[in-house]
Chains A and B, each alone.
Chain A
Amino acid sequence: MLLLPAAALAAGEAAPFSIPATLVKWTPLIARGFALNIIISFLAMAIGTVLGTFLGLCQISLLPPVRGSSWFVTQFFRNAPWLVLLFYCMLLLPFQIRIGGTVIPLPDWIKATFGLALPVMANMSELVRGAIQSIPYGQWESAEALAFTRRQTLWMIILPQCVKRMLPPWMNLYAILAVATPLCSVVGVSEAMTLTGDALAAIGRHEMLVPMYLYLLSWFFIYCYPIARATTALERRFAVAG
């Protein structure tokens, strides 16, 4: 056993196998995959935020059918496993869509983005509903007494106050989404997790398993930890400001 590396050396092969050097060698590939994780997280967050805000506003609608159905959609997607939603989107969405004469391809990573956007949407919907309901009723009442319409009250008076309250939990939601993006590897998207697996297969050395995945973990940690810190700092600041 101990003789093996020595034998390899003696045989005049390339430099001896070193874990750090191997990590460095594969870093560009992992970085490329990680960039896709970030892109997916940004897009899923953007889509989920827009749809979730709309859904959250529907949840406080004065029309019972709108309120009821948006409540149901919110609860349905909030209590669904992310991975199952991901599979559903992969299987149900077509690989391309045709609008008029143009064909828009839907690559796997776009489908996965939609899959992740769904639970973000549902969580966002609850954030919006909760924030609106946390605004004191006196704000609605005084706006109404000043002849603001319900819509004006919502957009000019209630929602601007909600933004501050929603920011920390919204950032928290993003951090959870970012660490959930490797789920996409299960459905075959070439993101960091998939590429790490590919690299390991190419290296073919089992002693690289632990360092390689630890390396990948550290990428996510370095990306997400500052977000968590900023969230805590914001929460503390808002708590003081009242």
Chain B
Amino acid sequence: MTWTADQPLVSLRDVHKSFGAVPVLKGISFDVMKGGVVCIIGPSGSGKSTLLRCINALVPIDRGSIRVEGQEVHDPKLDKLALRRKVGMVFQQYNLFPHRTALQNVMMAPIHVLKQDKAAVEARARALIQKVRLAGKEDAYPGELSGGQQQRVAIARSLAMNPDVMLFDEVTAALDPETVKEVLVTIRELAAEGMTCMLVTHEMGFAREIADHIYFTDRGVIVEHGPPKEFFSNARDPRTRQFLSQIL
């Protein structure tokens, strides 16, 4: 079966995952269309980060199905390299490579993983650093950059692989309040350009503004979901209401 753009780019069906005896995901199903922006919210420990990690096969699932562009992720014969070229991921702790400069961080994967031409990669990496508004910081080491700047380098590093979908795992949770905005601006631009994005976030205002669809998860299940307007003003489930009242 070949995937076409009118089918979901990411499709989850009845995904189950346990860590030892602790169930983390208990039957998650949803679809993300190309160009869609989905926010996953919910209390800590509700399996949101695990869910994202399952999509690019960092964490194997126990049961169910995850498809990215029609390719089953939960398959022992999966070409992980091909999957991870399509799925970019940005982490809460940035995880930049501290021994390499910002520019080198962005260039490493295209050169060593995709085996692309170095000069072409460099030109693109410089453009990406400019795109995340860090022109002039190309030769800075991660330790010399602020959290917000590091996170934008991490976004550029992920974009350098030309992914079809970007996963953002609480990317502003470790940042100082004043640098949160610059990262959100970058993500907003990406979304506006049509990048398919899946975000786990605690920034409710941002989720409401950017998302096409919000999923609220608690204890491994999707409790409620809907377009942001509806979701934030007319939450039906008591658990959602309680969560929103605490956070808003």
Contact = CB atoms under 8 A, between A and B. Distances in A.
Interface residues on A, range: 20 to 34
Contacts of B95: 136, 138-139, 141-142
Nearest to A145: B89
Nearest to A241: B143
A145 B143 contact: no
Nearest to A164: B99
A155 to B, nearest CB: 10
Given A152-B113, A156-B108, A156-B112, A147 B97 contact: no
Contact of B85 (A147, A156, A157, A160): A147
Contact of B113 (A136, A139, A147, A161): A147
B81 interface: yes
A242 interface: yes
Nearest to A147: B84
Nearest to B85: A147
A148 B113 contact: yes
Given A147-B113, A152-B112, A142 B91 contact: yes
A146 interface: yes
B161 interface: yes
A198 interface: no
Q: Is the interface of A mostly helix, strand, loop or mixed?
A: helix
Contact of B97 (A145, A149, A157, A164): A157
Nearest to A160: B99
B157 interface: yes
A145 B158 CA distance: 9
Q: Is the interface of B mostly helix, strand, loop or mixed?
A: mixed
B58 A148 contact: no
Interface in B60-106: 80-81, 84-85, 87-89, 91, 93, 95-99
B56 interface: yes
B91 A146 contact: no
B109 interface: yes
Given A138-B91, A141-B91, A156-B108, A146 B84 contact: yes
Nearest to A163: B99
A141 B158 contact: no
Interface string B136-175: 0000000100000000001001100100000000000000
A141 B80 contact: no
A138 B5 CA distance: 33
Contacts of B99: 160-161, 164
A148 B143 contact: no
Contacts of B88: 145
Which of B80, B81, B112, B143: most chain A CB closer than 10 A? B112
Given A157-B97, A161-B99, A147 B109 contact: yes
B97 A141 contact: no
B99 to A, nearest CB: 5
Contacts of B81: 147, 149
Across the A-B interface, the 3 shortest Cβ-Cβ residue pairs? A142-B95, A147-B84, A138-B95
Given A141-B95, A145-B58, A147-B85, 6 more contacts: A138-B91, A143-B97, A145-B87, A146-B113, A147-B109, A161-B97
26 contacts: A139-B95, A139-B97, A141-B91, A142-B91, A142-B96, A142-B97, A144-B84, A145-B58, A145-B84, A145-B158, A146-B108, A146-B109, A146-B113, A146-B157, A147-B85, A147-B109, A147-B161, A148-B109, A148-B112, A148-B113, A156-B108, A157-B97, A160-B99, A161-B97, A161-B98, A164-B99
